[in-house]
Structure 1
Amino acid sequence: MKSGQRSGKRSYTNQSVEKTISILNAFRLDRPELSFAELQKITGFNRSTLHRFLVTLLDHGYLEYDTGAGVYRLGIRLFELGAIVMKNMDLRRVAMPFLKELAETLNETVHVVVREGIEGIYVEKYEPPGAMVTYSLVGKRLPLYCTAVGKVLLAFLEEAERVDLLAQLVLERRTPKTITDKEQLKAHLQQVYHQGYAVDDEELEEGLICVAVPIFGQNQKIVAAMSVSGAAHRIKAKLASPDGKLIALLQKVAAAISRQLGYVPERKS
């Protein structure tokens, strides 16, 4: 190790960068505009420090300030950078044509969700005309334990990683049908893994049912989950159909997306 170099992850961090990130991370989908006082409360910075960083972010277009409302919001530069990220996401590029066809075939909303830590994030959505309006948004976070996509993302993880994540989860009751017992959830995830799909039977939102399947990538591991969401009575009718079309169609589309992402299924001996 070179003289003056410290070991450990923290040796490469920069306090100014961390403060900048803390300010940007204060904004979320449910709080897109924040006053100076709110930013100070969230970040814990003193007035002079916060003011200095805000001026720099404003100068470079990472924040905007509404003088009339007295609030800050994320700036156009972040939108530009986000557009670059979204453009380069192979998953979205590959999946979208399949999602559109699937959603229009089923006349239901279709989502693709990836995992980040103990939450899921919507990365794509297609809602055809006539489908039930859902309040999901690309970029919005969602819980793993009470959603079909989340349960798929958990069920198809390596066991050690799944155990670690389950230990971190707080199973908050969202509806009367939400699973709030971890042992019950573990057993349910085993079932999801063996059957190859998950159902959210009004566990996140009453009146809404979702069915999800895994999408795999080049490394043979799960990279995302794809779901169809709709009014409970409509999805129940489709699930009860003798032809089993709903789940079969979801699995067929997910397999096609997986192949385009480089997934090669194991050959059965």
Structure 2
Amino acid sequence: MRSAERTTHRVSERTPYITLVGKVVQIIEALRDAPEGLALQALARRTGYVKSSIHRILLSLRQHGYVQQDEPGGPYRLGLKFVAIGRAVNGNVSLVQVVRPHLRELVAAFDESAYLAVLRGERGIFVDVQETNRDLRLVGPLGAEVHFHATAAGKVIAALFPADRRAALLARLSLTRLTPRTITSRAEVERQWTRVRRLGIAVNHEETIVGAVFLAAPIFDVEPHVCGAISIGIPKARFSATLGRAMAAALKDTCARLSETLAAAGYTHRVGAAPRPVELGETTRSTLAG
């Protein structure tokens, strides 16, 4: 008979599955969800595995520093080795790499361009775009700053700042009029931010580009602090209330799943120093092409 370590079965046509690894992962995840620790019996109930098998795995993990037990018969907890792994993962996680597949999903769903904006110091910067292939489309504003009072991405990020940071931002904002529809009243900007917090979505309806509509939802790190936003841009000629509702629902679902992924990875967004300002913003770079 083959040992458990060598026994595999097929999850799909091409993906081999090692049963023992799956068992170890379930034990680790059970301990992750119980910071106070779990006794052997409790682990058996949660995982459905026999105690003798769990005990052997725990002893091996403890020997390598991945599980700790303060006293014989006491509960098991995750060990400090996982802290080092978490830091290594966090340091290697590129938000752009993690988000890009989600942007592509949105492009595939709506055939419109999707954007990622992230916080860098006190600025929001567009760092990735996945464009539709349509002739009439909104061109990506890579490297451009968000406008916290006008762009959908900027509004949704600012709206979810802590109250003191939000107030300081509002006080220093230069409420530049970019189109006839741009909001230039601080009181109205504050009302819009309040609405964004209530709805979980921000809309830019020709406030930065005449003839263009953008919707955005927030992304959170493990804290959870808002660390960026995903937005979709669409020419006004193709926009409708029905489409807007579908896009809003998809954005909120996408960003919620993404935020869960970042939290599970222990991702903490490092804003760093503000980069050199880029003159072109969503106003000028996201122009109607074709």
1:133-160, Cα deviation, whole Å (9 max, x unpaired):
3343322223221100000011011000
Residue 242 of structure 2 corresponds to 240
Asked whether the equivalents of residues 107 and 128 of structure 1 are also in contact (C-alpha less than 8 Å), the reply is yes
Residue 12 of structure 1 corresponds to none
Aligned partner (choices 206, 223, 229) of residue 225 of structure 1: 229
CA distance 1:192–1:118, shift in 2 (3 Å) = same
Asked whether the equivalents of residues 113 and 131 of structure 2 are also in contact (C-alpha less than 8 Å), the reply is yes
SS in 2 for 1:256: helix
Deviation at 1:131, TM superposition (A): 6.3
Distance 2:166 2:219 in 1: 17
CA distance 1:197–1:189, shift in 2 (3 Å) = same
1:13-56, Cα deviation, whole Å (9 max, x unpaired):
xxxxxxxxxxxxxxxxxxxxxxxxxxxxxxxxxxxxxxxxxxxx
2:161 aligned with 1:160, yes or no?
no
Residue 261 of structure 1 corresponds to 262
Distance 1:139 1:88 in 2: 22
Asked whether the equivalents of residues 212 and 228 of structure 1 are also in contact (C-alpha less than 8 Å), the reply is yes
2:143 aligned with 1:139, yes or no?
yes
CA distance 1:131–1:113, shift in 2 (3 Å) = farther
Distance 2:125 2:96 in 1: 13
Asked whether the equivalents of residues 137 and 235 of structure 2 are also in contact (C-alpha less than 8 Å), the reply is no
Moved more, 135-144 or 157-166: 135-144
Aligned partner (choices 150, 169, 186) of residue 173 of structure 2: 169
Q: Sequence identity of aligned pairs in percent? A: 30
Asked whether the equivalents of residues 173 and 180 of structure 1 are also in contact (C-alpha less than 8 Å), the reply is yes
Unaligned residue ranges in structure 1 (runs of 5+): 1-86, 265-269
The correspondence of residues 95-134 of structure 1 with structure 2, limited to 5 A, is 95-130=99-134, 132-134=136-138
Distance 2:170 2:227 in 1: 18
Residue 81 of structure 2 corresponds to none
Larger Rg: 2
SS in 2 for 1:149: helix
TM-score by length of 2: 0.57
Unaligned residue ranges in structure 2 (runs of 5+): 1-90, 266-290
Deviation at 1:193, TM superposition (A): 0.7
Distance 1:183 1:157 in 2: 17
Distance 2:92 2:230 in 1: 19
Deviation at 1:233, TM superposition (A): 2.5
Deviation at 1:162, TM superposition (A): 0.5
Distance 1:217 1:178 in 2: 30
Distance 2:122 2:129 in 1: 21
CA distance 1:241–1:135, shift in 2 (3 Å) = closer
The correspondence of residues 1-269 of structure 1 with structure 2, limited to 5 A, is 88=92, 90-130=94-134, 132-235=136-239, 237=240, 239-241=241-243, 244-262=245-263
Distance 2:236 2:262 in 1: 32
Counting matched residue pairs gives: 175
Deviation at 1:117, TM superposition (A): 4.7
CA distance 1:179–1:118, shift in 2 (3 Å) = farther
Residue 270 of structure 2 corresponds to none
